[in-house]
Amino acid sequence: MQEEQKNAGPWSFIEPRFRSSLEYFGHKTRDISYVGRPISASTATGYGANHKAELDRFLKEAMEL
């Protein structure tokens, strides 16, 4: 899970490394997925209530995976 939008945080750098590590260690049935803001030019929603709602949704989604 990352708080930044998908195109600004570490996901694009770390995702292929996670996948190759899982494969290297033989965890072929495990997978990873992205939880966070979608690709966007804006760094935030602009409203505190929306920001908190997004974070709550991200945390819930990340813990259910």
Q: What is the pLDDT of residues 5-51, one digit of tens each?
A: 999 989 999 999 999 999 999 987 888 999 999 999 888 778 899 98
**What pLDDT sits at residue 26?**
92
> Which residues lie below 8 Å from residue 24, measured CB to CB, with a gap of 6+?
none
* Domains in the chain, number: 1
Range(s) of the domain holding residue 8: 2-64
> pTM score, two decimals?
0.76
CB 6 within 8 A of CB 34: yes
CB 36 within 8 A of CB 3: yes
**What pLDDT sits at residue 65?**
66
